[in-house]
C-alpha cells in the first residue's frame, strides 16, 4: 500500500498497568493549618487526575527524557507517581493525606525551574507548595546510563509540610466561591507561587506565596470586572460586597498562560463568556461571548455554562491557542481560537475552527497547535476517545450546522480502546473450570493485580489476606480461596462428577464476576495527559495508566466502525483508485466474515494452530459452518461485495504483503562504534524501563491478535473464492494456481501471528541463580556467552512474558542501535516523537520475532535465560510449517531435552541440526573458533561443540554414542578421527568400561594422543584399584610405552599412597619377565629405605627384597642377576628441573657411571639386612629414621647401641664383618651398668631380653649387671678368633675406662694370651697387677698352676720348650725402677728379680738335663 506509512488514522489503547505487586505508596499526612474547618473538609469532590511533562522530555540527551509525573486526587488524598520509559525509578510513588481538607478536582499544578520541581496543591481550605529537586540536579552525569534511578520523590519525607512559607489557609475574605471546583496555579518569574480561585463575590482572587528562599508576606489580590484592584492582606476585613458581581459571572473554568513578567488568567464564566485577565495590570483585557460561535444558542443562553471546559495550548511558532468546549444537551461543540494582540494592550480571539460531537459526557480534552484529543463516556458507560486535526476542518467555522452529528461523523479519528475481558467464559465439556478461569484471569493484559486483590478480599469475607502479593502468589491465593469456598459449601459427601463440575464452575464464575466488576471500576477514566514535545497521549484511569499508540492502516481499516469506514479516504490506501476500491471491498468482506464467526468457530481455528493442525482445513470447516447457519444472508452480502472487486487476487496479495514482516537481511547488531561513547551509553537506556517494555510488547500482542483475525478471515474468504470458482468471481484471466499460491502465503502468515501472540501471553519462568550460573557454564562451552542474546536475566518483580524478556534483554538494544545508526539529522537535534518511535520499535520487534526471518535471537534469548519449557513449546509450534532456521531450532530443542533429562531425544535433535551447518547464521556462529582458525570441516567443528556440551552436562553415554556415529563422517581426516576416538576412550574410561576404553585407545591414529590416553588409562585404573584389568591388557605395540609410563609414575609420586611399583611387578610377573620384576621390587625397596622412614616402610622394604629374591630364584642360575638401579638423583623424572652448580650452570649428567651387577646372593644379603632393620625398628622406634638406608656396618653400630647383640652378630656373620664392635659395645654397656643406678639396671632388662643367654642362673638373685657380664662371657667363649682379638678388645675397653677386670675375664685371658694381658697391664700402668701376673706366669711355666695359663707342658727337660715375655718383663722392671724412692716399687721389683732368678736356675738345670739326654 503506497500510503500505508504516510497516514495513520487511528490509535490503539495499550494498558501500562503493572502486573507485579500493587504500587507501594509511601504515605504522609499533611496536618491542618491554622483554623481549618473540619466540616468544610468533609466536602466531597469527584475524583480527578492529571499529568506533568518535563520541558526536555522529548530531547534525546536529557535526564528527563521520556519522564513525566501523573497524579490522582480522591477526597483528602493525593497520589503522586513519577514515571519513566527509560529507567525504573525507585521510590517514585507517594500518597499525601490532607487533614480536614478535600482536594479540589484538578487542584494540582506542577512547574519546573532549573533546580527544582515545584508542586502547587489546592484544597478547599488551603494551598500548599512542595519543593523537590529537579532530576538534572540529582545525578552527577547528564547521561541516562543506569537501569535504575532515584525519583524526585525519594526524599519527600524531609519536606516540612507545616512550613508557613509553603502552606497557607485560604482567607475568609474574599472567600472561596461555594461549589467551585476550578482553580489555577503558576510560578512567577521571581519564584512566587500564585493560586487563582473563583471568589465568593464572583470575581477571581489570587493568593500569592513569596519565593521559597526569600522571606515575605502572603498576599491576596481580587480581580473584578470593574478592573479595580482590591488588595487584601491576610486578616483584613471586607469593606463591602459589591452588588454588580452576580453568580452568572462566576468563573467556571480557569486557565493561566504565563508571559514575560505577567500572567494571563482565562476564565470561562457561567454566562458563557470567556474573559482574560492580566495579573500584572489586574484588569480584564478581553471578554468574548462563546454563544456567538454556537449555531443554536437560544437554549444555551438561559442555562448556566456548568458543563463547559477550557484548555490552552502554546506553540512558540504559532502562539497561544484557546480551546473551549461548549456543553449542550445531547451534543457538544469545540471552539478553537488563537489569541491575537491588538492595539492599546487589548487582545481578541481569532476563531480557527468549530467542531461538533454527538457524545454527551465529556470527561476531559486536550489541545495542541493542530489537534484536539477528547475523552467521553457514552450512553453505555463506555469510554470513548477520539482526536481530530482541527486545522484540516477549519472550513467548518463559517458553516452553521443544524445537525452536527450527521455532518461531522467522519471527521473524528478513532481510538480503539482496550476492551474489558469478556463477561462470560464459555467452557467446553472437556475443559477444566479451574484451569480455564485461572488462564483467563492471569493471562497478561486482561486483569490488573489491584482488581484481583480487591476481588479476593471481597470473596474471602472476614479473612485477613496479604495485599502485597506477587503475581504467582496471588494466583495461589485465588485458587485456595475459591477452592475453600467450594469445599465449605459442600454438604453432601458423595455427588457425581458432573455435579461437582457444575459447582466448581458456579464458584469460579462468581469470583470472575467480582474481578470483572473491580476491573471495570479501576478502568474508569479520569483525565487525558498529552505531551506536546513527544506527542505522547496517556489516559489516566482510576486504577492504572494506559498509552495510545498509532495503528497501522491494515488494522485501522479492519477495526474501524462501519460509519467511519464509509467515510475513509481511499487515497490513503493506494494511488491507484481501482486497487484502493478493491482493498476497501476486501476489508468489508473480511469484516463481515469476522462479525459472523462465532466464539466456537474462532476456537476451532485457535485449537488447530495450537494442536499443529492445518489452518486451511479449519478455515474450510468454519466456512461450512457459516454457510450452514447463515440465517441473515451474510454470505450473500459477502458474495455480492466480492462481485465489486475487479481484481481480488491483486487485492489479497497487497494485503498479504502489507502484513508480512519477512526480510532477507538480518538487522545489524550493536551500536555504531563510530558514534561517541557518551551517545552510545545514553542510547543504551532508551526505552529500557519496565513500563516501556510492557507497552511495546502489548503493542506487538495487539497487532498479532488483530492480524491473526484478519488472516483467519482472509483464509475463510479465499476458500469461499475457490468454492465460487474462477469464472464467477475472478474473470477469465485468473488461474486457480494464483489462488493456491495466495492461500499458501496466507497460512504461514496466520501461524506467524499466532506464534507471536502466543509468545506475548506466555509468562517467563523465574530462574534460580544457580541454574543461571550452570547455564552460563554450558554456554561458555559453546562460546556463546559473548552473544547479546544470552545475557543472564535478572528478573524484576513483575512476571514478564517471554517477548518482554526478549525485548528487555536483547531486542531493545538492537532496535535502538538500528534506529539511530543513520540519523537524518544530528542526534543532538533529534527529538523523540512518540508515535513514530513506538511504531518503528514495534515494527522492528516484529521483524526480530518473525519466524521466517534470518537469525534467531529470540530463541537464543530464551535459551540463554533458561526458559526451556517455553522454548520447547515455541519450537514445537514452529517446526511443522517453518523451514527457516530448522537446524538452529533443532539444536536449541536438543538443549531443552538435555535440561529435562531426555538425552536420547537431545541427541537426535543435535544430529538433525548437523545437516544445516553452514546454512544458518546461528550454527555458523556456534562453530566459529575464538582464534579464527578452521581446524576441520564445519560439520566436525559443530560436532566438537556438541560433544563438549554433552561432556559438561555430564552425559558420557551420549558422548560415546554420538562420537561413534560420526566416525564414518570423519573419513580420512585423521585429526578428527584422533579427536573422536580420544573422546570415546575418555568417556568409556569415565564410565568404567575399561575394555572398551582400551579398544578405543588402540585405534587412536595420533601417537602423541595415544600416549596421553595410555598414561591416563594407567593413572585412572590405578586410582580405582582396577589393577587386574590394567595388567592383563595385551598392549600390542605399546608394551615399552606402558612400562615407561608406570616407571615414570612410580618414580614421580609418593611411595606410600600409590602402588605403581607393585603394579609394574605384577605387570612383569604376568608376562613371566622375572628379572624385570625383581629389578622393580629391588628398586622399590631401595627407595622405601631412603624415602620412607617409617616402620611400615621398613616392612614393605623387607617384602620387596624378598619378592626380588623369589623372582631370581625362578630364573636359571646363569641368568639370576640384575643391574643395580641408579640412585634417586639420577632418575630421569619427567618435568624435573635440571640440576645446577653453585654458579647456576646446568651440570652435565654423568656418562661413565659404573654398572653394578647384583646376583642372587647379594639380594639375599639385602633381604637379610632389611629384616634386621625391621627388627631394630620394632625394638627401638627412634632408630626408624636412620635404619632404612643404613649399610651393614652402620647397622651393626645401631644394633649394638640398641643392645641387639645376637642380631648384630648374625648380621656380621652374614656380611663377614668382624665382631669387634659388638664386644666393645657390650663391654661398654657392662661398664655403664656397673657404674649406673637402678634406672640403668631396669632399662637394661629390655635389651638383655632380646638376646639369648646360654643358661639361666636360678640359685641366687641375678642383677642386670651380672647378666650383662655373663652375656659377654658367653660371647667370648662362643666366638673365638685367632690372636684372641675379642678378649683383647674387651679388656682394653675395660681398662680404658678404669674398670677393674673381673676375675673370670683375667682367668679366661690368662689361658689364651697371658703375655698380651701383661702388655695391657703395662699400657695402663697397672704395675702391681703386672708383677702378680709375672709371678704367677713364672710359677705356671715352672709347673705350678700351669693349667690356668693354658700351658700343657711346664718346664721340663722332656717337655717342649717354654718361654717368658722378657720384653714386657723388662719394661715392667724398668717402670718399677724409675721411681727408686718408692719402697713398694723396689719390693715389687725385687720380687720379680727373685722369681726370675729362681726361673733361671731351673731353666739352667733343665737345659743341662736336655743336653745330657741328647748326648746319650
pLDDT digits (tens, 9 = 90+) for 760-785: 999 898 888 777 777 777 777 777 75
User: Over 80: is that where the pLDDT of 480 sits?
Assistant: yes
Question: Residue 697: pLDDT band by 50, 70, 90 thresholds?
Answer: very high
What is 971-986 written as a DSSP string? TT-HHHHHHHHHHHHH
Round to whole Å and give the CA distance between 1182 and 350. 119
1109, containing H or E segment: helix 1095-1113
Bridge partners of 74, per DSSP, are: 77
Round to whole Å and give the CA distance between 1025 and 1057. 12
Average pLDDT over residues 299-307: 65
Round to whole Å and give the CA distance between 1248 and 1269. 11
pLDDT at residue number 960 = 93
pLDDT at residue number 849 = 94
DSSP state of 571: G
> Higher-confidence residue: 626 or 42?
626
Average pLDDT over residues 518-525: 90
Q: How far is CA 1246 from the centre of its chain?
A: 70
pLDDT at residue number 239 = 32
Round to whole Å and give the CA distance between 596 and 1206. 119
- Range in 21-25, 389-393, 826-830, 1209-1213 with the lowest mean pLDDT: 826-830
pLDDT in tens, 790-824: 444 444 445 689 999 999 989 999 998 888 876 65
pLDDT in tens, 1122-1133: 898 876 544 544
User: What pTM value is reported for the model?
Assistant: 0.78
Dihedral pair phi/psi, residue 86, rounded to 5°: -100, -35
* Percent of the chain scoring above 90 in pLDDT: 32
Round to whole Å and give the CA distance between 257 and 400. 30
pLDDT at residue number 1371 = 85
For residue 234, give the C-alpha cell.
491576610
For the chain, the farthest-separated pair of C-alpha atoms sits apart, in whole angstroms, at: 203
Round to whole Å and give the CA distance between 1105 and 415. 101
Round to whole Å and give the CA distance between 463 and 453. 13
Give the highest mean pLDDT range of 319-323, 330-334, 469-473, 1161-1165: 319-323
For residue 46, give the C-alpha cell.
469527584
For residue 1122, give the C-alpha cell.
640384575
DSSP state of 505: H
Kindly give the pairing relationship between strand 319-328 and strand 309-315.
Answer: antiparallel
The answer to whether 95 touches 26, Cβ cutoff 8 Å, is yes
User: Over 80: is that where the pLDDT of 1146 sits?
Assistant: no
Strand ranges in 486-535 using DSSP code E only, listed in sequence order: 525-531
- Range in 345-359, 462-476, 1062-1076 with the lowest mean pLDDT: 462-476
User: Over 50: is that where the pLDDT of 1200 sits?
Assistant: yes
Residue 217 CB partners (closer than 8 Å, separation 6+): 210, 233, 234
pLDDT at residue number 274 = 92
Distance linking the first and last C-alpha atoms of the chain: 170
pLDDT in tens, 617-638: 999 999 999 988 877 788 888 8
Q: Is 431 exposed, middle or buried (0-12, 13-18, 19+ CB in 10 A)?
A: middle
Average pLDDT over residues 23-50: 77
pLDDT in tens, 699-753: 999 999 999 999 999 999 999 988 887 544 554 445 567 778 888 899 999 999 9
For residue 311, give the C-alpha cell.
484548555
Q: Is 613 left (phi over 0), alpha (psi -120 to 50) or beta?
A: beta
Give the three-state DSSP class for 2.
coil
Which strand ranges, in their side-by-side order, compose the sheet holding 204-209?
184-187, 193-198, 204-209, 219-223, 230-233
Q: How many CB atoms lie within 10 A of CB 35?
A: 8
User: Over 90: is that where the pLDDT of 1354 sits?
Assistant: no
User: Over 80: is that where the pLDDT of 921 sits?
Assistant: yes
> Higher-confidence residue: 338 or 560?
338
- Angle of helix 736-761 relative to helix 868-878, nearest 10 degrees? 170
Question: Residue 1223: pLDDT band by 50, 70, 90 thresholds?
Answer: confident
Round to whole Å and give the CA distance between 904 and 901. 9
Amino acid at each position: 500500500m503506497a500510503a500505508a506509512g504516510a497516514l495513520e488514522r487511528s490509535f490503539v489503547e495499550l494498558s501500562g498497568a503493572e502486573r507485579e505487586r500493587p504500587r507501594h505508596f509511601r504515605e504522609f499526612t499533611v496536618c491542618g493549618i491554622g483554623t481549618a474547618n473540619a466540616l468544610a473538609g468533609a466536602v466531597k469532590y469527584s475524583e480527578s487526575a492529571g499529568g506533568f511533562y518535563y520541558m526536555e522530555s522529548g530531547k534525546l540527551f536529557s535526564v528527563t527524557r521520556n519522564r513525566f509525573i501523573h497524579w490522582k486526587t480522591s477526597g483528602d488524598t493525593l497520589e503522586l507517581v513519577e514515571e519513566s520509559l527509560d529507567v525504573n525509578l525507585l521510590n517514585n510513588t507517594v500518597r499525601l493525606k490532607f487533614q480536614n481538607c478535600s482536594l479540589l478536582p484538578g487542584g494540582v499544578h506542577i512547574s519546573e525551574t532549573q533546580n527544582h520541581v515545584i508542586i502547587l496543591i489546592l484544597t478547599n481550605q488551603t494551598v500548599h507548595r512542595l519543593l523537590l529537586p529537579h532530576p538534572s540536579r540529582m545525578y552527577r552525569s547528564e547521561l541516562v546510563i543506569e537501569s535504575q534511578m532515584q525519583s524526585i520523590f525519594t526524599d519527600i519525607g524531609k519536606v516540612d509540610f507545616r512550613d508557613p512559607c509553603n502552606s497557607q489557609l485560604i482567607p475568609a475574605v474574599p472567600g472561596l466561591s461555594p461549589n467551585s471546583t476550578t482553580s489555577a496555579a503558576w510560578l512567577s518569574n521571581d519564584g512566587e507561587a500564585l493560586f487563582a480561585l473563583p471568589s465568593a463575590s464572583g470575581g477571581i482572587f489570587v493568593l500569592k506565596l513569596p519565593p521559597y528562599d526569600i522571606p515575605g508576606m502572603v498576599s491576596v489580590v481580587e480581580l473584578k470586572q470593574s478592573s479595580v484592584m482590591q488588595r487584601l492582606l491576610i486578616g483584613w476585613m471586607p469593606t463591602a460586597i459589591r452588588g454588580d458581581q452576580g453568580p452568572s459571572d462566576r468563573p467556571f473554568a480557569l486557565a493561566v498562560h504565563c508571559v514575560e513578567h505577567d500572567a494571563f488568567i482565562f476564565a470561562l464564566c457561567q454566562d458563557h463568556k470567556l474573559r482574560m485577565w492580566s495579573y500584572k495590570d489586574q484588569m480584564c483585557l478581553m471578554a468574548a461571548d462563546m454563544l456567538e460561535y454556537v449555531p443554536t444558542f437560544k437554549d444555551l443562553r438561559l442555562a448556566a455554562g456548568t458543563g463547559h471546559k477550557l484548555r490552552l495550548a502554546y506553540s512558540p511558532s504559532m502562539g497561544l491557542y484557546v480551546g473551549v468546549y461548549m456543553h449542550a444537551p445531547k451534543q457538544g461543540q469545540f471552539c478553537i481560537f488563537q489569541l491575537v494582540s491588538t492595539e492599546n494592550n487589548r487582545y481578541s480571539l481569532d476563531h480557527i475552527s468549530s467542531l461538533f460531537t454527538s457524545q454527551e459526557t465529556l470527561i476531559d480534552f486536550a489541545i495542541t497547535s493542530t489537534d484536539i484529543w477528547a475523552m467521553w463516556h457514552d450512553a453505555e458507560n463506555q469510554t470513548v476517545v477520539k482526536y481530530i486535526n482541527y486545522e484540516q476542518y477549519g472550513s467548518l467555522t463559517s458553516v452553521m450546522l443544524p445537525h452536527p452529528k450527521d455532518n461531522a461523523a467522519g471527521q473524528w479519528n478513532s481510538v480503539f480502546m482496550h476492551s474489558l475481558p469478556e463477561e462470560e467464559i464459555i467452557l467446553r465439556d472437556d475443559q477444566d473450570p479451574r484451569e480455564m478461569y485461572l488462564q483467563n484471569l492471569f493471562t497478561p493484559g486482561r486483569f490488573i493485580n489491584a482488581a484481583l486483590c480487591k476481588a479476593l478480599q471481597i470473596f474471602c469475607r472476614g479473612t485477613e489476606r496479604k495485599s502485597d502479593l506477587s503475581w504467582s502468589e496471588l494466583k495461589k491465593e485465588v485458587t485456595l480461596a475459591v477452592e475453600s469456598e467450594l469445599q465449605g459449601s459442600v454438604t453432601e459427601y458423595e455427588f457425581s462428577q458432573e455435579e461437582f463440575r457444575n459447582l466448581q464452575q458456579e464458584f469460579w464464575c462468581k469470583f470472575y464476576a467480582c474481578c470483572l466488576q473491580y476491573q471495570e471500576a479501576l478502568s474508569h477514566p479520569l483525565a487525558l495527559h498529552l505531551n506536546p514535545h513527544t506527542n505522547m497521549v496517556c489516559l489516566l484511569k482510576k486504577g492504572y495508566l494506559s498509552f495510545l499508540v498509532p495503528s497501522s492502516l491494515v488494522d485501522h481499516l479492519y477495526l474501524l466502525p462501519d460509519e467511519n469506514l464509509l467515510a475513509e479516504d481511499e487515497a490513503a490506501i493506494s494511488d491507484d483508485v481501482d486497487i484502493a476500491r478493491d482493498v476497501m471491498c476486501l476489508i468489508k468482506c473480511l469484516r463481515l466474515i469476522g462479525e459472523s464467526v462465532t466464539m466456537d468457530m474462532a476456537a476451532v481455528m485457535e485449537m488447530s494452530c495450537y494442536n499443529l493442525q492445518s489452518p486451511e482445513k479449519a478455515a474450510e470447516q468454519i466456512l461450512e459452518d457459516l454457510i450452514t447457519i447463515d440465517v441473515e444472508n451474510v454470505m450473500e452480502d459477502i458474495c455480492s461485495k466480492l462481485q465489486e472487486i475487479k481484481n481480488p487476487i491483486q487485492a489479497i496479495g497487497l494485503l498479504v504483503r502489507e502484513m508480512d514482516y519477512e526480510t532477507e537481511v538480518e538487522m545489524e547488531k550493536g551500536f555504531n562504534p563510530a558514534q561517541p561513547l557518551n551517545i552510545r551509553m545514553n542510547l543504551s537506556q532508551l526505552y529500557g524501563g519496565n513500563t516501556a517494555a510492557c507497552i511495546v510488547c502489548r503493542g506487538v500482542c495487539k497487532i498479532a491478535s488483530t492480524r491473526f483475525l484478519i488472516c483467519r478471515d482472509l483464509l475463510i474468504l479465499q476458500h469461499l473464492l475457490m468454492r465460487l470458482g474462477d469464472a464467477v468471481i475472478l474473470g477469465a484471466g485468473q488461474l486457480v494456481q494464483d489462488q493456491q499460491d495466495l492461500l499458501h502465503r496466507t497460512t504461514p502468515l496466520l501461524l506467524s501471528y499466532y506464534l507471536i501472540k502466543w509468545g506475548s501471553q506466555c509468562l517467563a519462568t523465574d530462574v534460580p541463580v544457580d541454574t543461571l550460573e550452570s547455564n552460563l557454564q554450558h554456554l561458555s562451552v559453546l562460546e556463546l556467552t559473548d552473544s547479546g542474546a544470552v545475557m543472564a536475566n535478572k528478573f524484576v518483580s513483575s512476571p514478564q512474558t517471554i517477548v518482554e524478556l526478549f525485548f528487555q534483554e536483547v531486542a531493545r538494544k538492537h532496535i535502538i542501535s538500528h534506529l539511530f545508526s543513520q540519523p537524518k539529522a544530528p542526534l543532538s537535534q533529534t527529538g523523540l516523537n512518540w508515535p513514530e518511535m513506538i511504531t518503528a520499535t514495534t515494527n522492528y520487534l516484529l521483524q526480530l520475532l518473525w519466524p521466517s526471518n534470518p537469525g534467531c535471537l529470540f530463541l537464543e534469548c530464551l535459551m540463554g535465560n533458561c526458559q526451556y519449557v517455553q522454548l520447547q513449546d515455541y519450537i514445537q509450534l514452529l517446526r511443522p510449517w517453518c523451514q527457516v532456521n530448522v537446524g538452529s531450532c533443532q539444536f536449541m530443542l536438543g538443549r531443552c531435552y538435555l535440561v529435562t533429562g531426555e538425552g536420547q531425544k537431545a541427541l537426535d535433535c543435535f544430529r538433525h541440526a548437523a545437516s544445516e551447518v553452514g546454512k544458518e547464521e546461528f550454527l555458523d556462529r556456534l562453530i566459529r573458533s575464538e582464534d579464527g582458525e578452521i581446524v576441520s570441516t564445519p560439520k566436525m567443528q559443530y560436532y566438537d561443540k556438541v560433544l563438549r556440551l554433552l561432556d559438561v552436562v555430564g552425559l558420557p553415554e551420549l558422548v560415546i554414542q554420538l562420537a561413534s556415529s560420526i566416525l564414518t563422517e570423519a573419513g580420512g581426516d585423521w585429526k578428527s578421527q584422533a579427536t573422536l576416538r580420544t573422546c570415546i576412550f575418555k568417556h568409556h574410561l569415565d564410565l568404567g568400561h575399561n575394555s572398551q576404553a582400551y579398544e578405543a585407545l588402540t585405534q587412536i591414529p595420533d601417537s602423541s594422543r595415544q600416549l596421553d590416553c595410555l598414561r591416563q588409562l594407567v593413572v585412572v585404573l590405578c586410582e580405582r584399584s582396577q589393577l587386574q584389568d590394567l595388567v592383563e591388557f595385551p598392549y600390542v605395540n605399546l608394551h615399552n610405552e606402558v612400562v615407561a609410563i608406570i616407571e615414570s609414575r612410580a618414580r614421580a609420586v609418593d611411595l606410600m599412597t600409590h602402588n605403581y611399583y607393585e603394579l609394574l611387578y605384577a605387570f612383569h610377573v604376568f608376562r613371566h619377565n622375572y628379572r624385570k620384576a625383581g629389578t622393580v621390587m629391588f628398586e622399590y625397596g631401595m627407595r622405601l629405605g631412603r624415602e620412607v622412614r617409617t616402620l611400615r616402610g621398613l616392612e614393605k622394604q623387607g617384602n620387596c627384597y624378598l619378592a626380588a629374591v623369589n623372582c631370581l630364584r625362578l630364573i636359571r642360575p646363569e641368568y639370576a642377576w640384575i643391574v643395580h638401579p641408579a640412585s634417586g638423583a639420577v632418575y630421569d623424572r619427567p618435568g624435573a628441573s635440571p640440576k645446577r652448580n653453585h654458579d647456576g650452570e646446568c651440570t652435565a649428567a654423568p656418562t661413565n657411571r659404573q654398572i653394578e651387577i647384583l646376583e642372587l646372593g647379594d639380594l639375599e644379603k639385602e633381604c637379610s639386612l632389611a629384616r634386621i632393620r625391621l627388627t631394630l625398628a620394632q625394638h627401638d622406634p627412634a632408630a626408624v629414621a636412620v635404619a632404612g638406608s643404613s649399610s651393614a656396618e652402620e647397622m651393626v653400630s645401631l644394633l649394638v647401641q640398641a643392645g641387639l647383640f645376637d642380631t648384630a652378630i648374625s648380621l656380621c656373620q652374614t656380611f663377614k664383618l668382624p665382631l669387634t664392635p659388638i664386644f666393645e659395645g657390650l663391654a661398654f654397656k657392662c661398664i655403664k651398668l656397673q657404674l649406673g643406678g637402678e634406672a640403668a639396671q631396669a632399662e637394661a632388662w629390655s635389651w638383655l631380653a632380646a638376646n639369648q643367654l646360654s643358661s639361666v642362673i636360678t640359685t641366687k638373685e641375678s642383677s642386670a649387671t651380672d647378666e650383662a657380664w655373663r652375656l659377654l662371657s658367653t660371647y667370648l667363649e662362643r666366638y673365638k678368633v685367632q690372636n684372641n682379638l675379642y678378649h683383647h678388645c674387651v679388656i682394653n675397653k675395660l681398662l680404658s675406662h678404669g674398670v677393674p677386670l673381673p676375675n673370670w675375664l683375667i682367668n679366661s685371658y690368662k689361658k689364651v694370651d697371658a703375655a698380651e694381658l701383661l702388655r695391657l697391664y703395662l699400657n695402663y700402668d697397672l704395675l702391681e697387677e703386672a708383677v702378680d701376673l709375672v709371678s704367677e706366669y713364672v710359677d705356671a711355666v715352672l709347673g705350678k698352676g700351669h693349667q690356668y695359663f693354658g700351658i700343657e707342658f711346664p718346664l721340663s727337660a722332656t717337655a717342649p720348650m717354654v718361654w717368658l715375655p722378657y720384653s714386657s718383663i723388662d719394661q715392667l722392671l724398668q717402670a718399677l725402677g724409675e721411681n727408686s724412692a718408692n719402697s713398694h716399687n723396689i719390693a715389687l721389683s725385687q720380687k720379680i728379680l727373685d722369681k726370675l732368678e729362681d726361673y733361671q736356675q731351673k731353666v739352667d738345670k733343665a737345659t743341662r738335663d736336655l743336653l745330657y739326654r741328647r748326648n746319650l
